[in-house]
Structure 1
Amino acid sequence: MSLNKAKLSFCEKLDILPAAASVVVAATYALLTGLWRTERQAKSLLLHFGYAILRKATARMSPLQLQYILPGSVTVYNRLVKSTGYEARSVELSHGASGHWIGDPNATNVLIWYHGGGWALASNRGYIKFYAKLVRDLEKSGKSVAVFALTYTLAPQETYPYQLRQAVSAARYILDQPDRNPETVFFGGDSAGGNLACGVLSHMAHPHPQIEPLTISGKIGGAVLIAPWALLDAEYPDQEIYDGGDIISEAVAAPWAGAYLGQAPRDNYTDPFNASPEWLAAYPAKEILVTGGGNEILLPVIQDFAQKLKDSFGNAELFVGYRECHVAPIYHIMLNDNSETDQGKKIKSWLTEQLQ
């Protein structure tokens, strides 16, 4: 399937105008009221303003409308990677996927990254800057590492298990490299990308019946899961911590999960939260770090999933960033806030300890 922009009907295109107007109204309201923020809201007025825009845009527009107005992952990579000081290097993978290097492909360690966005949004400029900063900071700590970022086909152009198949192809490409020690390979993912990272780990331990098995000798070095979307329920109970302090709302759960699942039933690959302890214990990774934002609506699910990993998998750790939103290490950069998030600091220190 081509990764071209989504095709919209005339009515869907026409609806973008009132949708954009509603975003402007929400942003204006946030700007006017943002001076009186609580601890349940963003740390700065800039972030409060940006959260409101993203929250309204994702709630008001359909996945296809968002795909229509936003640049694709490949376009974003090609536009921005050189500005980070790294050479553009892309690889065509199987099943229409592609992988993009940030850093030296011959680095000792490779972090395979699966981007989020509910399987419906392309990676944005925040990702490229996040990857580049992470690679540079780790190099300063004496660690040789490169990021290999997957571009997969967005839903609903393809549905589950297509994206999981593409995610496996990225892992296969890296793990099949000559003389590549699996312990120098790490998985990373945020939100839906965290779900994909878990899906690949599940496939390696319990091969998906529709995807070619991927077996390794031993375990990969570890996995970093930023706010993994581990449970695809359409509704989440209102949480006391939530009061406009996140970039997403409950309104995105049903359309985004539905676009990804299509007609497929949910299973342990789509909902790792529901997997048995025995299933999770078989994840072929040495260590797992789970992070979440203190103000995000998925935090209770993230916390419960991390506890399940601790109880079954064992070598798992949870870190929560104070007053941070969903996927703050990346979306703060996209919103032009370059101050390092608590989650970002934790991820960097954790990788410094784990990388070879």
Structure 2
Amino acid sequence: MAPSAAATPTLREKLDLLPALGSLVFTTLSALLTGWRRGPNDEPSLYLHVVYAAVRKLIVRLSSPQQQWVFPSTDAVYKQQAASFKLAPHIVELRHGAKGLWIGDPDAGAVLVWYHGNLVAAVLAHLAHRHPEIDALPLPGPLAAAVMMAPWTALDGGTTNARLAGYNGADILDRRALEYWAGKYMGDRAPDYYTDASSAPAEWFRGLPVGRILVLAGGNEILLPSIDAFVKTLEAGYGPVEFYVAEREAHIAPFVNLNFHSSAPTGQGDKLQSWLDEVVASRGETAHL
């Protein structure tokens, strides 16, 4: 089934963009004034404090149609980035309307397939237990490794359950946005072990066809408690997993920070680079990020 087209905002939603901009400016200025009183567990810089506050306001204040109307599509951003690095865009049309966006040499000895963290768990589960509604994904052998960066594996109540809801103050995410996104993502489908890996028993993860697994998270993740619980269950079934938590870092900080022009090294980014170097070196190749 082909993916649905981007939703078009209603006239009311379009008119609402101006008040939304006003609230975003107010939040940004407020964060600038209060950021000087950051605590030891808050963002490491005033700049990131302001940026994260603005992002939290943005993802809560704007609906999905508004965001899709205001911001460029993934294809457009990919082509812009490729042009900025003087690379020829390479887009592969896949079945069911999906697309693959290549970065680098398709003939490289080691290839990194990029999924959302939740989908990494879903794809590994599909390889071990084929989903009845999805074509089989035959592989000649197990995958060399898998990385789950801040996997959101508890969509069904994991953001509102007091036991699983983590620190909400220095992350880019907000509980209200997570609940909204989960509803949009799931629609009328009931959750299962593929969408909510945190709900699966340990036995579900036995025999996952992958050599090594690394799970990354930031110490300020609102999702951190649910990620920690998921890793414990994953290890009980799959076996030893490397779990690295970077202090004072937010959700997918290595990529979010760069997106907002903060080039300071991150613990998650350094760990990802060194781990991939180690994995790829064992195959006689070199990793480049």
User: Whose strand fraction is larger, Structure 1's or Structure 2's?
Assistant: 1
Structure 1 unmatched runs, 5+: 115-192
State the partner residue of 1:95.
96
State the partner residue of 1:210.
133
Structure 2 length normalisation: TM-score? 0.91
State the partner residue of 1:267.
192
Q: CA separation in 2, counterparts of 1:241 and 1:339?
A: 25
Q: Deviations over 1:102-155 (max 9, x none)?
A: 1111110000002xxxxxxxxxxxxxxxxxxxxxxxxxxxxxxxxxxxxxxxxx
The alpha carbon displacement at 1:238 in A equals 8.0
1:222 equivalent to 2:145? Answer yes
The alpha carbon displacement at 1:340 in A equals 1.7
- Opposite residue 231 of structure 1, the aligned amino acid is A
Q: Deviations over 1:23-50 (max 9, x none)?
A: 1111110011111211221101110110
Q: Deviations over 1:159-181 (max 9, x none)?
A: xxxxxxxxxxxxxxxxxxxxxxx
Q: CA separation in 2, counterparts of 1:240 and 1:200?
A: 25
State the partner residue of 2:275.
350
Checking the alignment, whether the CA contact within 8 Å between 2:165 and 2:222 is kept in structure 1 is no
Q: CA separation in 2, counterparts of 1:239 and 1:209?
A: 30
Q: Deviations over 1:60-98 (max 9, x none)?
A: 122222111111100000011132343321111111111
Pick the aligned partner of 1:298 from 198, 209, 223.
Answer: 223
Checking the alignment, whether the CA contact within 8 Å between 1:63 and 1:255 is kept in structure 2 is no
- Aligned-residue Cα RMSD (Å) equals 1.7
Checking the alignment, whether the CA contact within 8 Å between 1:207 and 1:213 is kept in structure 2 is yes
Q: Deviations over 1:181-203 (max 9, x none)?
A: xxxxxxxxxxxx11111111111
Q: CA separation in 2, counterparts of 1:240 and 1:203?
A: 27
Q: Identical aligned pairs, as a percentage?
A: 41
1:278 equivalent to 2:203? Answer yes
- Opposite residue 323 of structure 1, the aligned amino acid is R
1:315 equivalent to 2:230? Answer no
Q: CA separation in 1, counterparts of 2:11 and 2:149?
A: 37
Checking the alignment, whether the CA contact within 8 Å between 2:94 and 2:100 is kept in structure 1 is yes
> Does the residue aligned with 2:112 lie in a helix, a strand or coil?
strand
Structure 2 unmatched runs, 5+: 284-289
State the partner residue of 1:160.
none
Q: For the structure 1 residues 69 and 3, does the alpha-carbon distance in structure 2 shift closer, same or farther, using more than 3 Å as the test?
A: farther
Q: CA separation in 1, counterparts of 2:161 and 2:32?
A: 27
The alpha carbon displacement at 1:6 in A equals 2.2
The alpha carbon displacement at 1:353 in A equals 1.0
State the partner residue of 1:145.
none
1:200 equivalent to 2:158? Answer no
The alpha carbon displacement at 1:282 in A equals 2.6
Q: CA separation in 2, counterparts of 1:45 and 1:3?
A: 39
State the partner residue of 2:286.
none
Q: CA separation in 2, counterparts of 1:86 and 1:308?
A: 42
Q: CA separation in 1, counterparts of 2:163 and 2:171?
A: 13
Checking the alignment, whether the CA contact within 8 Å between 1:91 and 1:100 is kept in structure 2 is yes
Q: For the structure 1 residues 3 and 243, does the alpha-carbon distance in structure 2 shift closer, same or farther, using more than 3 Å as the test?
A: closer
Q: For the structure 1 residues 258 and 243, does the alpha-carbon distance in structure 2 shift closer, same or farther, using more than 3 Å as the test?
A: closer
State the partner residue of 2:287.
none
Q: CA separation in 1, counterparts of 2:161 and 2:72?
A: 30
Checking the alignment, whether the CA contact within 8 Å between 2:3 and 2:98 is kept in structure 1 is no
The alpha carbon displacement at 1:239 in A equals 8.1
Q: CA separation in 2, counterparts of 1:272 and 1:39?
A: 32
Q: CA separation in 1, counterparts of 2:65 and 2:28?
A: 22
Q: CA separation in 2, counterparts of 1:25 and 1:238?
A: 32
82-91 or 245-254, which deviates more? 82-91
The alpha carbon displacement at 1:2 in A equals 5.8
The alpha carbon displacement at 1:12 in A equals 1.6
Structure 1 length normalisation: TM-score? 0.75
Q: Deviations over 1:210-262 (max 9, x none)?
A: 11111223310111111000100251428897252010111112210000111
The alpha carbon displacement at 1:289 in A equals 0.5
The alpha carbon displacement at 1:3 in A equals 6.6
Q: How many residues align?
A: 278
The alpha carbon displacement at 1:5 in A equals 3.6
Q: CA separation in 2, counterparts of 1:354 and 1:240?
A: 33
